[in-house]
């Protein structure tokens, strides 16, 4: 019976398996490299896209910051304009008040009484004058408290100008100017009831 030598066939088969294994290993390595490279490209693309979005956001933030700065500047300009308008309005009303005040002083001054000095310091008014009698000074006092433009009359001095009582009386009197520029709440809080008759005892 003839003998068949299988060693060459097995060796060939072993070489084929080794080649297939190496080919498979090489293919897996190539696939891994391709996957890694594709992953790298994907991540790099995502990073670039995110960087582009960040750049756009930063640009938009700068635009918004500039707009906010412009709005704040406009608000400051608005406040300055409002302040100037308030000052102008106050000056306009103050000018009108001064006219009314001097007119009111003339109207409240009784007959037989004349002023030698009239000084205004802010809202404080100082009157100095001569009256024929204390009754006329008292009338002047009450007229000030009843006035729309003056209040809080305060008689400081009343004295005879000479030994002869017919010569007249020197008087000094102070009062406050009423401001129509004040708001209603402040006017209500600071207003006082009329004190008619307070100086009547000296009449």
Residue 97 has a CB neighbour count (10 Å cut-off) of 18
Mean pLDDT, range 129-146, rounded to an integer:
88
Q: In the CATH scheme, what is the code of domain 91-202? A: 3.30.1360.100
Greatest Cα pair distance in the chain: 182
Cα–chain-centroid distance for residue 21?
A: 83
Please indicate, yes or no, whether the overall pTM of this predicted structure exceeds 0.75.
Answer: no
Mean pLDDT, range 158-167, rounded to an integer:
66
Mean pLDDT computed over every residue of the chain: 79
Which pLDDT tens digit goes with each residue over 37-90?
888 889 988 999 999 999 999 999 999 999 999 999 888 888 888 888 888 777
Mean pLDDT, range 174-187, rounded to an integer:
62
- The answer to whether residue 177 scores a pLDDT higher than 80 is yes
- The answer to whether residue 110 scores a pLDDT higher than 50 is yes
**DSSP for residue 144:** H
Collect all residues with Cβ–Cβ distance below 8 Å to 109 and sequence separation of at least 6.
115, 140, 143
Mean pLDDT, range 17-45, rounded to an integer:
88
Do the beta carbons of residue 114 and residue 130 sit within 8 Å?
A: yes
Range scoring the smallest mean pLDDT among 29-38, 111-120, 187-196: 187-196
């Amino acid at each position: 019976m003839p003998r068949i030598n299988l060693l060459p066939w097995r060796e060939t088969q072993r070489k084929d398996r080794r080649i297939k294994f190496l080919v498979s290993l090489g293919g897996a390595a190539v696939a891994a490299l391709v996957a890694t490279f594709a992953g790298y490209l994907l991540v790099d693309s995502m990073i670039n896209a995110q960087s582009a979005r960040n750049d756009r956001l930063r640009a938009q933030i700068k635009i918004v910051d500039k707009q906010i700065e412009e709005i704040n500047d406009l608000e400051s300009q608005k406040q300055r304009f409002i302040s100037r308008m308030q000052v102008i309005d106050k000056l306009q009303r103050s000018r009108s008040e001064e006219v009314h005040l001097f007119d009111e002083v003339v109207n409240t001054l009784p007959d037989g009484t004349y002023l030698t000095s009239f000084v205004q310091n802010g809202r404080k008014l100082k009157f100095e004058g001569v009256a024929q009698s204390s009754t006329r000074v008292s009338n002047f006092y009450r007229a000030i408290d009843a006035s729309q433009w003056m209040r809080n009359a305060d008689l400081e001095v009343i004295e005879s100008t000479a030994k002869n009582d017919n010569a007249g009386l020197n008087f000094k009197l102070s009062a406050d100017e009423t401001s129509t520029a004040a708001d209603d709440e402040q006017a209500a809080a600071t207003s006082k009831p009329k004190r008619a008759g307070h100086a009547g005892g000296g009449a």
